Amino acid sequence: MEVETERTKPAAAFMAFGTKGDVYPIAAIAAAFACDQILYDVVLITHSAHENLRCHLAEKHVSYLPISSPPVVPIHREHDSTEEPGSLEKIMFSAEHRQECCLAVEKIFGSGPSMEGDFILINFFALEGWSIAELFHVRCIVAAPYVVPYSAPSSFERQFEKELPLLYKYLQEAHNTKVCWKDVIHWMWPLFSEYWGSWRCDDLNLSPCPFTDPVTGLPTWHDRPPSPLLLYGFSKEIVECPDPVSSFEYGRSGQVCSELSRIVSSEHLYTKDEMCSAHVQLEYFLKTPVSMPPIFIGLSSIGRQVLSLIGSLATSLMHSQNLLYKNMRDSGSGYIPLDAAIRAVAAESPPYVTHKQFNDQCISLFNDRLFCFSG
């Protein structure tokens, strides 16, 4: 029988799910954190499909814990017309995925008491990490290279107030330094759905709703946790600071963005690998010295958001720092309307603005200040 040894170092678990564009930035942050905070045990929990990260993370002393679920749940063409497409499979998939996540976190934090400094950092596709952090009594932090990819239904607040009036009051009355309604409406609202509530109650023995007592169901009036730290990986030069995010946190977001641009270069996370010849223009863009670091690195998942912001991006670039938009096609998440919009911008720009079309994958816009790469 294995004897569990007591932990001597605080642990940092980075949990990220999704395609490369969702996971790689979190992996980069984990690597940077491990290099900077050598007294921590650092672990990345993600899909086994991202196994190629293992050796690179090991060089930075980051452990890798794979989860067998795929980055994208397949949708079957044939299904029972009386049943929602893939509903039974999704239920089974979710149950197995969540169980694996719990076991992975248990390996990290063990069954003993938490240590000061322990935390779990999640992306927006790893919301199970919030409840698991609550289960293990560790802090939960959220990081994302893009704006929240979803918004609450228009009826959400009305239904919430009707069904959970005391919890609604608890959140509305909270000081903005504590978890409050602005946090909920900005990104936390899915955590109050039946999708997460039944799992919290049945499998984790937590209350169905966060911030409520598991026995009485009443808000934890005596315990008002601080507003969750939310770090965005972009600058306010590109996207206006979301209302619930304090200026301090947004300032930190700018630092995270700058750090991301440094880390994902070949000299950091991929210390021994050079880019292939097909990506020579992207490599040149990344390595060319500039007076200011990139203010934005976009990855596959945010095609629709960048498309909606393409006009403001173009304006910002005429007066701001470098910007890199990297659209990872090989993950299957290329966004064709964005490619079309980029080419339209190139065609309609004034003659004094230089554009270069290197090949089908690479186009440089606005005098080499915006580089668009699909590959």
Tell me the three-class secondary structure of 292-321, residue by residue. Answer: CCCCEEECHHHHHHHHHHHHHHHHHHCCCC
What is the average per-residue pLDDT within 109-124? 90
What is the average per-residue pLDDT within 261-272? 46
Whole-angstrom distance, CA of residue 297 vs CA of residue 271:
20
Per-residue pLDDT reduced to its tens digit, 150-188: 789 999 999 999 999 999 999 999 998 999 999 999 999
Contact 179, 127 (CB under 8 A): no
Q: Most confidently modeled of 268-277, 290-299, 318-327?
A: 290-299
User: 219 with 291, same domain?
Assistant: no
Q: Most confidently modeled of 108-117, 169-178, 327-336?
A: 169-178
In this prediction, residue 63 carries a pLDDT of 96
In this prediction, residue 81 carries a pLDDT of 36
What is the average per-residue pLDDT within 245-258? 44
User: 204 with 342, same domain?
Assistant: no
Which DSSP state fits 276?
A: P
Whether the pLDDT of residue 206 is over 50: the answer is yes
In which band, very low, low, confident or very high, does the pLDDT at 317 lie, cut at 50, 70 and 90? low
User: 100 with 155, same domain?
Assistant: yes
Number of Cβ atoms within 10 Å of the Cβ of 242 = 17
* Higher per-residue pLDDT: 244 or 252: 244
| The model scores a pTM over 0.75 | no
In this prediction, residue 306 carries a pLDDT of 53
Per-residue pLDDT reduced to its tens digit, 84-110: 444 666 777 889 999 999 999 999 998
Residue 215 lies in a domain: yes
In which band, very low, low, confident or very high, does the pLDDT at 321 lie, cut at 50, 70 and 90? very low
Residue 292 lies in a domain: yes
What is the average per-residue pLDDT within 19-36? 91
Which residue stretches of the chain are H helix? 20-36, 53-59, 87-109, 128-135, 156-163, 165-173, 181-183, 194-202, 247-263, 280-287, 303-317, 336-348
In which band, very low, low, confident or very high, does the pLDDT at 275 lie, cut at 50, 70 and 90? low
* Higher per-residue pLDDT: 9 or 357: 9
In this prediction, residue 352 carries a pLDDT of 62
Residue 240 lies in a domain: no
Sequence-separated (6 or more) residues with CB below 8 Å from residue 202: none
The domain that holds 226 is classified in CATH as 3.40.50
Residue 269 lies in a domain: no
What is the average per-residue pLDDT within 347-374? 69
Q: Strand 119-122 relative to strand 62-67: parallel, antiparallel, unpaired?
A: unpaired
In this prediction, residue 349 carries a pLDDT of 66
What is the average per-residue pLDDT within 126-142? 96
Whether the pLDDT of residue 337 is over 90: the answer is no
Which DSSP state fits 68?
A: -
Structure tokens, 113? 């008491």
Residue 159 lies in a domain: yes
Residue 237 lies in a domain: no
On the 0-12 / 13-18 / 19+ scale of CB atoms within 10 A, 184 is buried
What percentage of the chain has pLDDT greater than the value 70? 61
Residue 51 lies in a domain: yes
Q: What is the mean pLDDT of the chain?
A: 76
Whole-angstrom distance, CA of residue 216 vs CA of residue 111:
26
Whether the pLDDT of residue 335 is over 60: the answer is no
Residue 260 lies in a domain: no
Tally of CA atoms within 13 A in the half-sphere of 265 that contains its CB: 16
User: 63 with 198, same domain?
Assistant: yes
CA nearest to 252, candidates 232, 276, 272: 232
Residues found in the chain: 375
* Higher per-residue pLDDT: 177 or 308: 177
User: 56 with 200, same domain?
Assistant: yes
User: 194 with 142, same domain?
Assistant: yes
In this prediction, residue 375 carries a pLDDT of 55
Contact 43, 32 (CB under 8 A): no
Domain span including residue 355: 275-374
What percentage of the chain has pLDDT greater than the value 90? 46
Our count of domains for the chain comes to 2
* Torsion angle defined by CA atoms of residues 343, 344, 348 and 351, in that order, rounded to the nearest 10 degrees: 0
**Identity of the amino acid at 1:** M
Residue that finishes a domain, picked among 208, 232, 256:
232
User: 225 with 282, same domain?
Assistant: no
Across the chain, which distance is largest between two alpha carbons, in Å?
A: 74
User: 20 with 154, same domain?
Assistant: yes
User: 28 with 133, same domain?
Assistant: yes
